[in-house]
Amino acid sequence: MPSSDPPTAEPSPAAAPAPAKANTAKQQKGKEPATSTDGSKLSGAELKARAKAEKAARRAQALLEKGTTAPVAAPIPGQQPKTEGQKGPKAQHKRGNSMSLEVRNVPVRGSQKAAPVVPAEPKKEDKTVEFFRHLYKLRTTSIAGASKEVHPAVLALGLQMSNYTICGSCARLVATLQAFKRVIESYTTPPQNSLSRHLTSHVLSPQIEYLSSCRPLSISMGNAIRWLKLEVSKVDVSVPDAEAKKSLCDAIDVFIRERITFADQVIARSAADKIKDGDVIMTYAKSSIVQRALIRAHEEGKKFRVIIVDSRPLHEGKHLAAALVKIGMDVKYCLINGLSHNIQDVTKVLLGAHAMMSNGRLFSRIGTALVAMEANEADKPVIVLCETIKFTERVALDSIVHNEIAPADELVIPGGPLEKWGDIKKLQLCNPMYDVTPADYIQMIITESGNVPPTSVPVLHRLGNESQG
């Protein structure tokens, strides 16, 4: 077997790292002798991989002894000594170069394989929905346990984000940049260090980590943070601290002004141009940029009606409705179950965006895809209002791979039948925040650099980044 096996062992890279990890799956065990005997050289990368595997195994062991349920490496006690014992022969493994890379992947793979085993122990029922299980994250809802490096302004911001006081892609982006400005202002470079090397890794990173623990970062925040890190790295070492800090803060101000404030003005103007007398505009939930466009069109004296479609649990549309009614606009408010009835009167649908994916798909508040689909069915044009800062090079085929899961308890109405849903067996609640609208349903995207079809998202994204960096 050993000498004849390589054809099967060689082409499958999955088999190579298998012995290196403590919690290998059972079916891979059969291959271990085969891979272990077909060589005797020991490369540096291999040694490294081995040390790493040993460390991981030790850590897993320690966790197990503590009695905690280790989330990542949760080995089955029975397997532990067995794999430990196999380390000797395994070290003679031949394919060293590719190994170090693969070993790094193993914890992920291992955790997925271990997951079904863990609930086997008698414990509380898993209330997460299987399809979305990779998205569940515990949200930080208090400042307890936050790292001491986190700036008070960021601490406050994190909490505001986690309870939706600051909500909406743009608002969160601006608030984050403002908070980071304060972080930079209060920063002093320690001696023997330079700002461009120290600031990002030691000061900004903990802030970002904390913020993303409160609520996952939005795409636009990711884009802005990437930009900020680039700006920091561009700071010359010889520039004095005060000057560098000032230039960074100024750069942030310029960024907010150009990419958001001015962009919003341009978009609101182009969108208002698209609104004609007699139009009936439908919008979903609340988008600050849609609100601005509607108000602008109203101020220009256009006569049109607005239908706001809204949904639980956030009811963001109520705020929009209130704001529009206040300035005397003709507004109709309905929940998403009234959508197919109301779509008939509509002439245009204006939607906000959380992000625009590179395949032209719209990533936005959950329910948006439904509105776009109904509009498309009824042959009504769907217009997306989106700043180019929200464009991403990523693509999305569905709303499962990339999404954000909000706490399921938000869906529960106090005093309603679901109040004790946690105790009901086999009942799971799922509260995803976003969905993906196919590009076919979108007629136009209004951005600050013009009106484009969804197919041009990657082009604009590229241009936006070129001018940026």
Partner 1 sequence: MASLGNIPQNEKSKSFDIVETYHRLLNEDPDLTMPVAAIEALIELLVQSRAVTVYETLDLVKTQSDYLKSRIPNSISLSAGTDLFQRYMISSLKPSSTGNFETVRQHLLSNGRLFVSRAKAGRERIAAYGRHFVRDGSVVLTHGGSRVVGALLGKAAEASKSGGNVRFKVIYVINDARSSESKAVVFALRAKGVPVATISEGAVGYAMGKVNLVIVGAEGVVENGGIISRLGTYQIALLAKAAGKPFYVAAESHKFVRLYPLGQYDLGIDQEVIEFKTEDEDDLSPEERKFAERTPTIEERKEYFDTGIDLPKPNTAVDAVDFTPPALVLALITESGVLTPSAVSEELISVWW
| Residue 225 vs 383, nearer CB to partner 1 | 383
How many whole angstroms separate alpha carbon 392 and alpha carbon 358?
A: 6
Exactly one of 102, 297, 452, 461 binds partner 1 (CB under 8 A); which one? Answer: 452
Question: Does residue 358 bind partner 1 (CB under 8 A)?
Answer: no
Exactly one of 449, 461, 465, 469 binds partner 1 (CB under 8 A); which one? Answer: 449
Q: Are 52 and 17 in contact (CB under 8 A)?
A: no
| Residue 325 vs 439, nearer CB to partner 1 | 439
| Residue 207 vs 376, nearer CB to partner 1 | 376
CA contacts within 13 A on the Cβ side of 387: 30
Residue window 370-389: x/- pattern of binding to partner 1, with contact defined by CB under 8 A: -----------x-x------
Exactly one of 85, 119, 453, 469 binds partner 1 (CB under 8 A); which one? Answer: 453
- Establish whether the linkage from the previous residue to 313 is cis, with ω within 30° of 0: yes
Question: Does residue 451 bind partner 1 (CB under 8 A)?
Answer: yes
Least distance CB 447 / partner 1 (angstroms) = 11
Question: Does residue 147 bind partner 1 (CB under 8 A)?
Answer: no
Closest CA to 365 of 457, 455, 431, 454: 431
| Residue 247 vs 451, nearer CB to partner 1 | 451
Exactly one of 348, 354, 365, 461 binds partner 1 (CB under 8 A); which one? Answer: 348
Question: Does residue 450 bind partner 1 (CB under 8 A)?
Answer: yes
Least distance CB 463 / partner 1 (angstroms) = 6
DSSP category for residue 334: E
Collapsing DSSP to helix, strand or coil, 56 comes out as helix
Least distance CB 383 / partner 1 (angstroms) = 7
Question: Does residue 444 bind partner 1 (CB under 8 A)?
Answer: yes
Residue type, 15: A
């002439």: which residue's tokens?
A: 347
Exactly one of 54, 438, 463, 468 binds partner 1 (CB under 8 A); which one? Answer: 463
Least distance CB 446 / partner 1 (angstroms) = 9
| Residue 35 vs 283, nearer CB to partner 1 | 283
Question: Does residue 39 bind partner 1 (CB under 8 A)?
Answer: no
Tokens of 406: 């909000």
| Residue 142 vs 344, nearer CB to partner 1 | 344
Instruction: Give me the DSSP letters along 129-152.
Output: -GGGGGG--PPP-SSTT--TTS-H
Closest CA to 206 of 251, 140, 256: 140
DSSP category for residue 391: B
Window 265-284: residues binding partner 1 (CB under 8 A): 274, 276
Classify the phi-psi angles of 347: left when phi > 0, otherwise alpha if psi is within -120 to 50, otherwise beta. alpha
| Residue 248 vs 375, nearer CB to partner 1 | 375
- Report how far apart, in Å, the C-alpha atoms of 269 and of each of 80, 296, 301, 331 are: 65, 7, 13, 21
| Residue 378 vs 424, nearer CB to partner 1 | 378
Q: Are 431 and 410 in contact (CB under 8 A)?
A: yes
Residue window 69-88: x/- pattern of binding to partner 1, with contact defined by CB under 8 A: --------------------
Instruction: Give me the DSSP letters along 176-217.
Output: HHHHHHHHHHT--PPTT--HHHHIIIIIIHHHHHHHHHHSPP
Least distance CB 377 / partner 1 (angstroms) = 15
How many whole angstroms separate alpha carbon 304 and alpha carbon 325?
A: 13
How many whole angstroms separate alpha carbon 281 and alpha carbon 73?
A: 52
List interacting residues with partner 1 (CB under 8 A). Answer: 274, 276, 348, 381, 383, 443-444, 449-453, 455-456, 459-460, 463
